[in-house]
Amino acid sequence: MATFIPNSFTSYTLTDKEQLFGEILNLEQKMVMQNKLAAIAEERIALVPEANNYASFIQQEAFLKGQLTMLQWLLDSSIAAEAQVAAESQTNQ
């Protein structure tokens, strides 16, 4: 059972199984994340650097890139967890 770890942020001690199943996203969550990923990618493509404020462009681009990377990481983690669960269920049969 997950236990709360008091610190500046919220974190929990999880068993390996809790961690694995917690990484698996349901279909609706995947679709929402994919939609967000697409919207952010479109926003990033549409960015236009301004000669007078190039630093702002760089900051916006880095911010959007970070969002894209995080969403993709969550989706990839779910896929990996699903594959691990499938492989373990095949092994246990």
29 vs 23: CA distance, rounded Å: 11
- Residue 10's pLDDT band (cuts 50, 70, 90): confident
The pLDDT assigned to 86 comes to 95
The angle at the Cα of 70, spanning 53 to 85, to the nearest 5 degrees, equals: 170
Residue 26: DSSP 8-state: P
Report the predicted TM-score, pTM, of the whole model to 2 decimal places: 0.85
pLDDT digits (tens, 9 = 90+) for 56-76: 999 999 999 999 999 999 999
Extents of the domains making up the chain: 25-91
Residue with tokens 């702002």: 56
Q: What are 14-66's pLDDT values in tens digits?
A: 999 999 999 999 999 999 999 999 999 999 999 999 889 999 999 999 999 99
